[in-house]
Structure 1
Amino acid sequence: MVSETTDNTFEKDTSEGVTLTDFWATWCGPCRMQSPVVEQLSEEMGDKVTFNKMDVDQNPETPQKFGIMSIPTLLIKKDGEVKDSIVGYHSKEQLAKVLNQYL
């Protein structure tokens, strides 16, 4: 399952284990393509990785803090520390390969 995260909850939501946060917006075409891929990954890897999504229009502080200029951006953290940032659409296989490096 992919959970919604906000500027207020992001640090808590991404402080433990491996997390992937999908930064997106409703008007973003590539974001709408990426979203089902993230959903599929969450079903397959949800026991090992926490999946979140953040609407950048409703939550501007966190994307600004991490220098996110383009969406979709997928931010991967491990135990609260940023490990990777992936910009643009990526396949499920590509994302799984990146996530497996941090498990």
Structure 2
Amino acid sequence: MVSETTDKTFENDTSKGITLTDFWATWCGPCRMQSPVVDELAEEMSDKVTFNKMDIDKNPETPQKLGIMSIPTLLVKKDGEIVKSIVGYHSKEQLASILNNL
């Protein structure tokens, strides 16, 4: 399952274990392609990874603080530390490979 995260909850939501946060917007075509891939991955890897998504239009502070300039951006954190930033559309296989190698 992919949970919504906000500017207020992001740090807490991504502070423990391995987390993947999908930064997206409703008007972004590639984001609409990436979202179902993240949903599928969340079903398959929920025992290992916590999945979140953040609408950058509703939550501008966090993307600005993190320097996110392009979407979709998938941010992977391990115990609260950013370990990978993935920009642009990626297939389920590509993302699974990245997450499995953490």
Aligned partner of 1:66 in structure 2 is 66
TM-score (norm 1): 0.98
Aligned partner of 2:45 in structure 1 is 45
Give the count of matched residue pairs: 102
Structure 2, gaps ≥5 residues long: none
Query: What is the identity percentage for the equivalent residue pairs of Structure 1 and Structure 2?
Result: 81
Aligned partner of 2:34 in structure 1 is 34
Aligned partner of 1:3 in structure 2 is 3
Structure 1, gaps ≥5 residues long: none
Root-mean-square deviation over aligned CA pairs? 0.4
TM-score (norm 2): 0.99
Letter in 1 for 2:55: D
Give SS of 2:63's match: helix
Q: 1:99 and 1:73 mapped to 2: Cα distance?
A: 15
Q: 2:24 and 2:32 mapped to 1: Cα distance?
A: 8
